[in-house]
Amino acid sequence: MTLTNRDIVELTAWRRRLHQNPEISNEEERTAGEVVGFLADTAPDKMLTGLGGHGVAAVYDSGRQGPTVLFRSELDALPIHELSGVEHASLVPGKSHMCGHDGHTAILASLGRQFGRQRPARGRVVLMFQPAEETGNGAAGVVADPRFGEIAPDFAFSLHNLPGVPFGEVRVKAGVVNCASRGMRIVLEGKTAHSSMPETGISPMLAISQLMPALPALGRGTFADDDFSMVTVTHAAMGEAVFGIAPAHAEVWATLRTRRDERMAELVAAVEALAARIAAEHRLAASHDYHEVFVASVNAPDAVGHLERALDEEGVPRGEEALPMRASEDFGIFGHNAASAMFFLGAGERHPALHNPDYDFPDDLIPIGSRIFMRAARNILG
């Protein structure tokens, strides 16, 4: 099964329409509707909508016993104003597809076209169009949705385009490919005072000046080490923007990052203990909460084996350079109950970087990504 020239033209035009109408995490209602409409004439055997938010799952069932193979793409864009200058640039101020999720979605839709014409020989293919990857709550919401049990996969695959890698080459390996990470907000509360009498209040000034260098110091190891951990302070604020009040309130935001989920649990405990100790030393109340929580993405050897076979059969160059990455990806949670693997498809060595305002997904990656996924699916399901 291959894409026709007409397929490629129509998929490219559709990708560009998605690009012009971006929706950020947890707001992808229109994009999800576009997916449902585009796949309608492929007659999926089951179409689930509203999964974990605005997720869409299209199921192509052979009617014969066999594995369920899930392919996943992301629906969400970013809160970035586009400066690419392309004719199909975002029409929504301050929002744009600067990570290529529109292209990933077009690749997945290309599978729908092909499986609409010819079902797999056995088992099922699930095309999972997932919401809210950028905030880390999308995959978790999909998996937690009670209806996910209807499509629970044996294998799960995904891809991400990767600027800096030669165009059309693939990077893939077994084991960790993306770090676990989470955002932590630490809140310190004291007591305000008139700025002429600061001794009558309880200021968080000394506490945050102590906390900010102490947080990064909790990191350890090099990135090549399984016990690697990293804390990056991303934001700090104290008091009000006035001259007459000594402050009572302060916040420090930090991103915690590890290669392993087990190490993340240790790092979280260490950061919480540090914040509590410093707050107590300065007679402050302390609290914290977490945001954008990503588990580590770990590629299963069996799933990687299927990808490597597909790449070799399709003549796509592959290597392990640039892996694993410090950046996070919420695809990892699909691997908790399935043999999963993600690969990275080169967008070109000089292509603008992901999340940059001049980025745009290279349309010529659509047929390459489609070929790889289709070969893997046919090898597993026939």
Q: Over 325-360, what HEC string results?
A: ECCCCHHHHHHHCCEEEEEEEEEECCCCCCCCCCCC
pTM of the entire structure? 0.94
Q: List the pLDDT tens digit at each of the 382 positions of the chain.
A: 689 999 999 999 999 999 999 999 999 999 999 999 999 999 999 999 999 999 999 999 999 999 999 999 999 999 999 999 999 999 999 999 999 999 999 999 999 999 999 999 999 999 999 999 999 999 999 999 999 999 999 999 999 999 999 999 999 999 999 999 999 999 999 999 999 999 999 999 999 999 999 999 999 998 988 899 999 999 999 999 999 999 999 999 999 999 999 999 999 999 999 999 999 999 999 999 999 999 999 999 999 999 999 999 999 999 999 999 999 999 999 999 999 999 999 999 999 999 999 999 999 999 999 999 999 999 999 8
- The C-alpha angle with vertex 77 and arms to 360 and 33, in degrees rounded to 5, equals 110
In one-letter notation, the amino acid at residue 168 is G
| CA–CA distance, 343 with 305 (Å, rounded to integer) | 12
The answer to whether 316 touches 193, Cβ cutoff 8 Å, is no
CA atoms within 13 A on the CB side of 170: 25
The answer to whether 30 touches 23, Cβ cutoff 8 Å, is yes
Cis peptide before 324 (omega within 30 of 0): yes
| CA–CA distance, 306 with 341 (Å, rounded to integer) | 9
**pLDDT computed for residue 89 by the predictor:** 98
**pLDDT computed for residue 224 by the predictor:** 86
CATH level 3 topology of 5-178+296-381: Aminopeptidase (3.40.630)
The answer to whether 146 touches 88, Cβ cutoff 8 Å, is no
Q: Tokens 């002429």, residue? A: 196
Q: Hey, what's the torsion of the CAs at 57, 62, 64, 70, to 10 degrees?
A: -30
φ, ψ for residue 164, nearest 5 deg = 100, -15
**pLDDT computed for residue 294 by the predictor:** 97
Residue spans of the domains in the chain: they are 5-178+296-381, 180-294
Q: Which of 285, 270, 312, 305 is nearest to 380 (CA)?
A: 305
**pLDDT computed for residue 1 by the predictor:** 65
Is the CATH code 3.30.70.360 the one for domain 180-294? yes
Chain-centre distance for alpha carbon 218: 25
| CA–CA distance, 134 with 76 (Å, rounded to integer) | 7
**pLDDT computed for residue 2 by the predictor:** 85
The count of other CB atoms within 10 Å of the CB of residue 156 is 27
Structure-token pair, residue 255 = 């991103």
Strand order in the sheet with 55-61: 46-51, 55-61, 124-130, 68-74, 155-163, 339-348, 170-171, 318-319
**pLDDT computed for residue 234 by the predictor:** 98
The DSSP output letter for 286 is E
